Amino acid sequence: MAEIVLETTGLTKFFRARKAVDDLSLRVYEGDVYGFLGPNWAGKSTTIRMLTGLVRPHGGSARLMGYDVGAQRVQSLRQVGAIVELPAFYKYMSARENLEIFSRYSGGCDKKRIDEVLDAVGLLDRAKDKVKTFSHGMVQRLGIAQALLPDPKVVILDEPTSGLDPQGMRDVRELILRLSKEHGITVFLSSHLLHEVEQVCNRVGIINRGRLVAEGSVGELLHREMSIVEFGVSDIAHAAELLSGVDSLKVLETSACCVSINGPRDCVAEANRALVQSGIDVYSIVPKTMNLEDLFMKLVGDGEEDD
């Protein structure tokens, strides 16, 4: 069993009466690329702020590298690199000077390491330029560079591809995968870009309105949740009416030749049996693959309906 490097237990934070994070418990294991998904205002950034000690929780605790962030903040951040929201730099200094300054806060590093991280994010040739001349995307890349400076074991990235062009986004995704595969760095990646998370993460936590609504490996989550199956039938209206009456099934949509249902995998056979027994011809049963976006919309959408 891999070691737990990042863990929250019952983490709760209020902003006045609003509960921004609600009893959040999650675990990230060594080597994970953990996608922390959620819509805007779901509580992702607040969670990351609590993980890095910027914000104090009203309840629960966070642990990084085995240290309690509240009680041992300095120790817990020693092997961690992070971007919290948009990276910010001293605009009147060059990229290199900024990295020198930030590296000193982590105990310092040599010029070679600064060149390495600048090279990794494609900014080595702009190292001497002042940050005020940088585009949004370049600042974002420099943010990733500063997170990598202390040679961290865990990297926390809050929407790292925000503001990047498609090529930049792809570069960052490749960089994250490289960090994980080649350097064994654990990555905690917050994002609302589902395809991004699906492409790079092996585990996912989905947060909505401050609550963790699902957590697990991407494959596990997709299989655990109900699947969508399309039935090609002879009598659409009759079939839709019949299937609507089956518990645990939900008719999603009907078209000219088929009915789409959503439900647990076990119910597919039951639905088929019900259709055949009612004299409806079944021409095809096509399982539709659920992707992370479907799952996300389902979980987040359900949450909104509940409220």
Partner 1 sequence: MTSFILEIRKMMRKARTYIGPIALSLLTLAVALGVKHDNHAQYMRRRMENDFIVAGSMLNAAFLCRVLLEFIAFTFLPLFVCMVCADLMASESADGTMRMVLVRPITRARVLISKYTLGMLYALKLTVGTGLFAYLLGWLMLGRGSLVIFENGIWVVPEHTAILRLLAAYALIGCGMMAVGSIAFAVSTFLSNANGAIGAAMGVLYGSAVIGQIQYFAKLKPYLLTSPLEKWGEGLTGPFDANTYLHSIGLLLTYAVVSFVIGLVIFERRDILG
Q: Does 89 bind partner 1 (CB under 8 A)?
A: yes
Identified binder of partner 1 from the candidate list 1, 17, 40, 107, rule CB under 8 A: 107
Phi and psi at residue 50, to the nearest 5°:
-70, -35
36 lies in the binding site for partner 1 (CB under 8 A): no
Distance (Å, whole) CA 228 – CA 224: 12
- Provide, rounded to whole angstroms, the least separation between the CB of residue 75 and partner 1: 7
Q: Does 19 bind partner 1 (CB under 8 A)?
A: no
Contact flags string 109-148 toward partner 1, x per CB under 8 A: -------------------------------------x--
* Closest to 154 measured CA to CA, from 178, 199, 184, 192: 184
Name the segment binding partner 1 (CB under 8 A); options: 1-9, 28-36, 80-88, 275-283. 80-88
Residue 53 found at the interface with partner 1 (CB under 8 A): yes
Q: What angle do CA 171, 172, 174 make, to 5 degrees?
A: 65
How many beta carbons lie within 10 A of that of residue 223, not counting itself?
12
Decide: is 43 part of the binding site for partner 1 (CB under 8 A): no
Q: Does position 173 bind partner 1 by CB under 8 A?
A: no
Between 108 and 184, name the residue whose CB sits nearer to partner 1. 108
Between 46 and 208, CB nearer to partner 1: 46
Residues 6+ positions from 96 with CB-CB distance below 8 Å: 114, 118, 127, 128
Residue 102 interacting with partner 1 (CB under 8 A): yes
**Quick check: 74 binds partner 1 (CB under 8 A)?**
yes
- How many positions of this chain bind partner 1 (CB under 8 A)? 32
Q: Does 71 bind partner 1 (CB under 8 A)?
A: no
Judge contact between 30 and 193, C-beta under 8 A: no
Nearest approach, Cβ of residue 131 and partner 1 (Å): 10
Is residue 49 within 8 Å of residue 24, measured between CB atoms?
A: no
Cα dihedral across residues 130, 132, 133, 135: positive or negative:
positive
Alpha-carbon distances, residue 283 vs 79, 246, 288 (angstroms)? 58, 20, 16
Element (H, E) at 114: helix 111-120
Closest CA to 171 of 130, 147, 191, 199: 199
**267 touches 246 (CB < 8 A):** yes
Site residues (CB under 8 A) for partner 1, limited to 210-239: none
Sole binder of partner 1 in the list 26, 28, 77, 138 (CB under 8 A):
77
Residue span binding partner 1 (CB under 8 A) among the ranges 36-44, 91-99, 159-167, 179-187: 91-99
Is residue 188 at the binding interface for partner 1, with CB under 8 A as the rule? no
For tokens 């409220």, name the residue.
Answer: 307
Point out which residues bind partner 1 (CB under 8 A): 49, 52-56, 73-75, 77-78, 80, 82, 84-93, 101-102, 104-108, 146, 150
